[in-house]
Amino acid sequence: MNRVRLADVAQAAGVHAATASRALNPAKRDGVNRKTVRRVELAAQRLGYVPNALARGLRTQRSYMVGAVIPDISNTLFPPLVRGAERVLSAAGYTLVLTDTNNDIAAEREQLALLQGRGVDGFIVATATWDDADLEQFGLHSAPVVLVNRNTGGGLLPYVGGDDRRGIHACVDHLVALGHRRIVHLAGPSSTSTGRERTSAFQAAARSHRLSVSKRRIAECTAFTQEEGIRTTRELLDSGDSFTAIVAANDLIALGAIDELRARGIRCPETVSVTGFNDLPFMDRVSPSLTTVRLPLREMGELAAKTLLQRIDLTDIASAARVLLPVQLIERGTTAPAC
């Protein structure tokens, strides 16, 4: 049961450990006699040698591990993203360490430090909040960081996201084309870039269509949840301000809105249309099927991982590239002509 060490392989091949090390390292192999290489490889195979990554990492200061900091992995938004990242990472010989912060910013900080202690080579962070100066400093000075899905206000770190503005514009355009003029927005938390971005896009779109955009027409959720969708819809409905369409900041909020409408006997889409954002799994099958904006989540994960690997290898100084991947409006059953 004792693990086979490099020294064992070396002995079996009749060479010194240093030579075995070189023979097994593709980058250094050329400085070694072909026959020696072969002998070492054979011995390694025969003994079932598995290199000790801890020892290697200690020596090389590289762990070939990447930390993924996720607010809540059971939110179905994140798994495709994580999967995309994992594929790219493992293809490049990296291993993904997952931490779930439970949407707690203190936990984010903690995990960042903890994983840095573990020698992680870089981070993919999906938990960024708008004024997360600590995170920016960390990414600037402590370890390579790539932000995904949510950006920080400073914009100092590389970021991969969806094109929120276009997505919201597409929603508003779609609703206006259906004849809607009184449209409200269930905004995401202003503590997140996605919340802010989508809200400001909504305001811009409304303006460009010359819709009224009184404060009353926007209600801010404190979280991207169904419960908050219910609460804000209730708030808007109770305000007396009438509307025929809702642009929700994401799918869960939209689902909550639909629940509250239903609870009040208001029909969707006949009386009030609703749009979501993200196109979570099964949103094509919920009843009514949700009109929403599809984000290329897998691609986002992949690109975030690739960007991070670049940053790790080049040790390049914080090229704060900001890539917005194209999104797509998916028209389904929750939107219909205004009556």
Q: Record the tokens describing residue 136, joined without a space.
A: 């920016």
CA distance 332 to 273: 11
The DSSP code for 189 is P
Shortest distance in whole angstroms from residue 285 CB to a copy of itself: 4
Kindly state the tokens that stand for 46: 């025969």
Cβ of 306: how many Cβ atoms within 10 Å? 17
The bridge status of strand 322-325 relative to strand 159-162 is parallel
95 binds DNA (CB under 7 A): no
Which one of a copy of itself, DNA, none interacts with residue 6, CB within 5 to 8 A by kind?
DNA
Which span sits near a copy of itself by CB under 8 A: 38-46, 177-185, 235-243, 279-287?
Answer: 279-287
Q: What is the DSSP letter of 328?
A: E
| Position among 86, 121, 136, 163 found at the interface with a copy of itself (CB under 8 A) | 86
Size of the site for DNA (CB under 7 A): 29
Residue 221 touches DNA, criterion: CB under 7 A: no
- Indicate the residue among 247 and 297 with the shorter CB distance to a copy of itself: 297
Binding of residue 91 to DNA (CB under 7 A): no
Separation of alpha carbons 318 and 299, rounded Å: 22
How many Å apart are CA 23 and CA 17, to the nearest integer? 10
Q: Is 21 in the site for DNA (CB under 7 A)?
A: yes
Does residue 52 touch a copy of itself according to CB under 8 A? yes
How far is the C-alpha of 15 from the C-alpha of 33, rounded, in Å? 12
Smaller CB separation from a copy of itself, 77 or 170: 77
CA–CA separation, 162 vs 328, rounded Å?
Answer: 10
Q: Which of 41, 51, 178, 182 contacts DNA by CB under 7 A?
A: 51
At CA 278, angle to CA 274 and CA 282, rounded to 5?
80
Query: What are residue 245's phi and psi, to 5 degrees?
Result: -150, 150
32 binds, among DNA, a copy of itself, none (CB under 5 to 8 A by kind): DNA
Min CB(117)–DNA separation in Å: 8
Q: Which of 13, 78, 256, 278 binds a copy of itself (CB under 8 A)?
A: 78
SS3 167: helix
Is residue 19 close enough to count as binding DNA by CB under 7 A?
yes
- Residues 121, 62: contact at Cβ < 8 Å? yes
Q: Are 152 and 193 in contact (CB under 8 A)?
A: yes
Residue 54 CB, nearest approach to DNA (Å): 7
The number of beta carbons lying within 10 Å of the beta carbon of residue 281 is 12
One residue of 32, 69, 248, 293 binding DNA per CB under 7 A: 32
What gap in Å lies between CA 61 and CA 54, rounded to an integer?
10
* Binding flags for DNA, 60-79, as an x/- string (CB under 7 A): xx------------------
Alpha-carbon gap, residue 79 to 73, rounded angstroms:
6
208 binds a copy of itself (CB under 8 A): no
Q: Which amino acid is at 220?
A: E
Q: Does 95 bind a copy of itself (CB under 8 A)?
A: yes
Among 12, 15, 81, 295, binds DNA (CB under 7 A): 15
- Nearer to DNA among residue 42 and residue 263 (C-beta): 42
Cα pseudo-dihedral 235, 236, 238, 241, rounded to 10: 160
Interface contacts to DNA, rule CB under 7 A? 3, 5-7, 15-19, 21-22, 24-25, 28, 30-33, 35-36, 49, 51-52, 55-56, 58-61
Interface contacts to a copy of itself, rule CB under 8 A? 1, 50-55, 57-58, 63, 65, 68, 72-76, 78-80, 82-83, 86-87, 90, 95-100, 102, 111, 113-119, 141-142, 255, 280-283, 285-289, 298
